Chain A
């Protein structure tokens, strides 16, 4: 039984199709990258998995639960942790309180146990020395780490990472990917949208390419990147239906 399963998931905003009958599976501990041009429907796909938006059709199941109409909070408690492309820290709370909230609400911990889970996530992401700082004072790198730490504090089975390496220097990207690899080694499944492809390639063992809300390639990362479908959506050339056929 896969950890995450999407069956015929579709979503449109007016005339714009962001997901067109997407069917997709991800197993326990898998690491899958998602690539695609801007407007391909990547973030919308994440929003449907995390519950920020509801699909028009199709079903989403996770750990043998039907998530399709479940609230984002319940999904987080069920084990779906996510980060946002533009970090969303609780700016007037300290770094520690950001992860403490997630440990208490997402992971159902209390008292000292919640403190330990929250601080453990900060140690894991290299933020322990900043625990008492207001989250609003963090730099972009540290905000991205806090996104990860907060998602980690919910004790997730699946992490949805939305362009977490975007806007960072090479060194910062390397630091972040090594953290993500270690989380994966602990058995946390990772679904990662990223434009920094080398970061993805160092971590994932499967790549999915989306375009116009359709999965145009799915498979081993190097094969996907070399496929005509992916070349088409990034570089143009043949018509999509020719590529698909």
Chain B
């Protein structure tokens, strides 16, 4: 098809900023944080390092869910399918003799490859039907995996390839693997959202019909994001399988993963990169401080989700950003000199 244009829109040289403030402090802060978190298992108590490992697993999952729902408008309640498939792909590679840590990227690739045909089924559906179908996909995957004896069937099995490591070493390496996957996922998401794709995703979220008429290939963009999110959740499943090395379908494919992704994205702020991270921090603080309260813990967490959904639908970070017009990880475009008057 010819892309030749007979008519040119008059152009004006314009300066565009990609940040509301100088990025230097963010970059310094990020580098310090990266260094601290990399050495954390050697300077914090083992129990806290385990908590951080679980925290990063949730950050990975929630960042991917936010990309799906907060940016591309696909509300999935079946992302645990790829968590489980990632875990079992790692188990399979480990059974075949590959080091489980080395298997992490391959598990992510397996999930990405499996996600492609799944999109051809799911993308025939819209809205609530899409969401329910993602859950069906997840339960189907759980049932199929449960029938494969070599993977432990329905009762599960231990991850091979970790036995020559001491429990302390396993915990340290699990932490580092999880932290690096989280770093790659969050950084990759940031780079993706700052690129042209970021605007494409935001436009699909805001108005799919208008996005098409502006030249956006909505289906291709959605498919790419679904595949990326599957790979990310697959990597989360892989590090989950290494950090909690007894692999069981009911744990890896647990609906609880989807609920936690949804909860932390919602309270933190959908459609922001910072939101899932802040939501995960709040979730872990609540979990650590209310764990002894039994059922009350769940009631308080549920009540918090309801309150935020009703009074701060853009989440805590969304509300903060709207009020103070600031972003830690800016992805927008600001025309300079900008005027915001009427």
A72/B212 contact (C-beta < 8 A), A97-B199, A131-B338 known: yes
- Find chain A residues with CB under 8 A from B14 CB: 115-116, 119
- In the complex, residue of chain A having the shortest beta-carbon distance to the beta carbon of B271: A92
- The one of A65, A100, A123, A124 in contact with B199, judged by C-beta atoms closer than 8 angstroms, is A100
- Check B213–A82 contact: CB distance below 8 A: yes
> In the complex, A107 Cα to B8 Cα: how many Å?
10
A174 within 8 Å of B (CB atoms): no
A24 within 8 Å of B (CB atoms): no
> In the complex, A76 Cα to B210 Cα: how many Å?
11
- Find chain A residues with CB under 8 A from B216 CB: 73, 101, 105
> In the complex, A28 Cα to B5 Cα: how many Å?
13
Within the complex, the shortest CB–CB distance from A242 to chain B, in Å, comes to: 40
For B, the interface residue count at a CB cutoff of 8 angstroms equals 41
- Find chain A residues with CB under 8 A from B8 CB: 155
B203 within 8 Å of A (CB atoms): yes
- Check B10–A72 contact: CB distance below 8 A: no
A55 within 8 Å of B (CB atoms): no
- Find chain A residues with CB under 8 A from B271 CB: 92
- In the complex, residue of chain B having the shortest beta-carbon distance to the beta carbon of A97: B333
Stretch at the interface among A31-39, A83-91, A195-203, A208-216: A83-91
B122 within 8 Å of A (CB atoms): no
- The one of A79, A89, A132, A186 in contact with B334, judged by C-beta atoms closer than 8 angstroms, is A132
A52 within 8 Å of B (CB atoms): yes
- Check A73–B9 contact: CB distance below 8 A: no
B200 within 8 Å of A (CB atoms): yes
- The one of B6, B212, B339 in contact with A132, judged by C-beta atoms closer than 8 angstroms, is B339
- In the complex, residue of chain A having the shortest beta-carbon distance to the beta carbon of B16: A115
A106 within 8 Å of B (CB atoms): yes
A21 within 8 Å of B (CB atoms): no
Within the complex, the shortest CB–CB distance from B324 to chain A, in Å, comes to: 15
- The one of B11, B199, B207, B212 in contact with A116, judged by C-beta atoms closer than 8 angstroms, is B11
- Find chain A residues with CB under 8 A from B164 CB: none
A188 within 8 Å of B (CB atoms): yes
> In the complex, A54 Cα to B14 Cα: how many Å?
39
The interface centre, meaning the residue of A76, A97, A129, A150 with most chain B CB atoms within 10 A of its CB, is A97
Q: Which of A121-166 contact B (CB under 8 A)?
A: 121, 123-124, 128-133, 150-157
> In the complex, A112 Cα to B336 Cα: how many Å?
13
A108 within 8 Å of B (CB atoms): yes
- Find chain B residues with CB under 8 A from A77 CB: 1, 3, 215
- Find chain B residues with CB under 8 A from A71 CB: 212, 217
Within the complex, the shortest CB–CB distance from B154 to chain A, in Å, comes to: 44
Q: Which of B284-342 contact A (CB under 8 A)?
A: 332-335, 338-341
B218 within 8 Å of A (CB atoms): yes
- Check B207–A90 contact: CB distance below 8 A: yes
B12 within 8 Å of A (CB atoms): yes
Within the complex, the shortest CB–CB distance from B208 to chain A, in Å, comes to: 9
A192 within 8 Å of B (CB atoms): no
> In the complex, A100 Cα to B200 Cα: how many Å?
10
- Check A101–B332 contact: CB distance below 8 A: no
- In the complex, residue of chain B having the shortest beta-carbon distance to the beta carbon of A150: B214
- In the complex, residue of chain A having the shortest beta-carbon distance to the beta carbon of B202: A93
A101/B217 contact (C-beta < 8 A), A96-B333, A116-B13, A129-B341 known: no
- Check A188–B7 contact: CB distance below 8 A: yes
- Find chain B residues with CB under 8 A from A81 CB: 213
- Find chain B residues with CB under 8 A from A156 CB: 7
The interface centre, meaning the residue of B3, B218, B333, B341 with most chain A CB atoms within 10 A of its CB, is B333
- Find chain A residues with CB under 8 A from B5 CB: 79, 107, 155, 157
> In the complex, A219 Cα to B319 Cα: how many Å?
55
Within the complex, the shortest CB–CB distance from A140 to chain B, in Å, comes to: 14
- Find chain A residues with CB under 8 A from B169 CB: none
Q: Which of A22-59 contact B (CB under 8 A)?
A: 28, 50-52
- Find chain B residues with CB under 8 A from A110 CB: 196
- The one of A28, A131, A186 in contact with B339, judged by C-beta atoms closer than 8 angstroms, is A131
Within the complex, the shortest CB–CB distance from B8 to chain A, in Å, comes to: 7
A104/B199 contact (C-beta < 8 A), A71-B212, A73-B216, A76-B212 known: yes
- The one of A88, A96, A121, A129 in contact with B210, judged by C-beta atoms closer than 8 angstroms, is A88
A120 within 8 Å of B (CB atoms): yes
- Find chain A residues with CB under 8 A from B166 CB: none
A119/B3 contact (C-beta < 8 A), A92-B206, A97-B202 known: no
A74 within 8 Å of B (CB atoms): yes
Per-residue contact bits, chain B 8-30, to A (CB 8 Å; 1 contact, 0 not): 11111110100000000000000
Sample 17 A-B pairs with CB under 8 A, ordered by A number: A73-B215, A77-B215, A84-B209, A89-B206, A90-B203, A93-B199, A101-B199, A101-B200, A101-B203, A105-B200, A105-B214, A113-B11, A115-B333, A119-B12, A130-B340, A150-B210, A155-B5
Which residues of B approach A to under 8 Å, CB–CB? Answer: 1-3, 5-14, 16, 196, 199-200, 202-203, 205-207, 209-218, 271, 332-335, 338-341
5 smallest A-B Cβ distances: which pairs?
A106-B215, A105-B215, A132-B338, A88-B210, A90-B206
Supplied contacts A77-B1, A90-B202, 10 more A-B pairs, CB within 8 Å: A52-B209, A65-B2, A81-B213, A101-B202, A110-B196, A112-B13, A116-B11, A120-B10, A154-B215, A155-B5
